[in-house]
Amino acid sequence: MMTFVNTRGQDLVILAGHRVVANVLDFSWSAIRRYLEPWFASEVFPFANDSEKPQASAKFLTRLAVTSKQRSIGAYPATGSAQRAFYLFHLRPGADLAQLLHNVSPLQRDLDVVLLHDGILEPALGITLQAATKEMNLTYQREANAAIAAVDSGRAQISFLLNPVDVEKVVEIATSNEVMPQKSTDFYPKLLSGITMYRV
């Protein structure tokens, strides 16, 4: 019924939960980019062919990590015949999060996963909280390469890549009697598991 975890444990980390999007009607990457323009500045990491892709991917993922304080969200869309590229979106300085994320608390506005769900997925792609909960248009990947591969294989229209949430932020939200969003607290290392049988 309950597990206790030492949040100050030296090796405790929270892993990123990347979002893989599929089955969105009338999906348009250009329309999504137009929607994001007022709120986010962007960086583009293009590649012309599969041999150039690993280098572009490595640069993209490195930039995603080092710009975490800028509220960065990565995107890898299936663009068909258009330019193949990874995209990195940074929240613009002075962006009014109270306007963009008006349905969530000030504490929740500090979470990248909330920024993605309430600021991008629902208004730009029509993926509501109910649809996300039922995984109608959304699945989750721990590994960035797996989220990217889902797009390359045609199983997804776009993958959004996130930085992991800080342990301290989880503690702050929990001690304020708020609840973390779905699939945002994948902590590691996990509890050891097994089966013990004994006659009592």
Provide Rg for the chain, Cα atoms.
18
Q: How far apart are CA 30 and CA 21, in angstroms?
A: 16
* Confidence at residue 106, expressed as pLDDT on a 0 to 100 scale: 92
Are 161 and 64 within 8 A, CB to CB? yes
Are 196 and 36 within 8 A, CB to CB? no
Sequence-ordered strand ranges (E) for the chain: 13-15, 18-21, 40-46, 72-77, 85-91, 138-141, 158-161, 186-188
Are 56 and 46 within 8 A, CB to CB? yes
Reported pTM:
0.89
* Confidence at residue 67, expressed as pLDDT on a 0 to 100 scale: 95
* Confidence at residue 142, expressed as pLDDT on a 0 to 100 scale: 92
Q: How far apart are CA 97 and CA 85, in angstroms?
A: 28
Number of H helices, E strands in the chain: 8, 8
Q: Which residues of the chain have pLDDT under 70?
A: 1, 81-82, 194-198, 200
Choose among 184, 163, 168: nearest CA to 71.
Answer: 163
Are 4 and 192 within 8 A, CB to CB? no
Q: Count of CB atoms within 10 A of residue 39's CB?
A: 18
| Close Cβ partners of 23 (under 8 Å, ≥ 6 residues apart) | 136, 137, 157
Give the single-character DSSP code of 40. Answer: E
Residue tagged 């045609």 (tokens): 154
* Confidence at residue 132, expressed as pLDDT on a 0 to 100 scale: 73
Are 45 and 87 within 8 A, CB to CB? yes
* Confidence at residue 79, expressed as pLDDT on a 0 to 100 scale: 78
* Confidence at residue 195, expressed as pLDDT on a 0 to 100 scale: 65
* Confidence at residue 120, expressed as pLDDT on a 0 to 100 scale: 93
Q: Count of CB atoms within 10 A of residue 64's CB?
A: 21
Cα three-residue angle 8-5-192, rounded to 5 degrees? 125
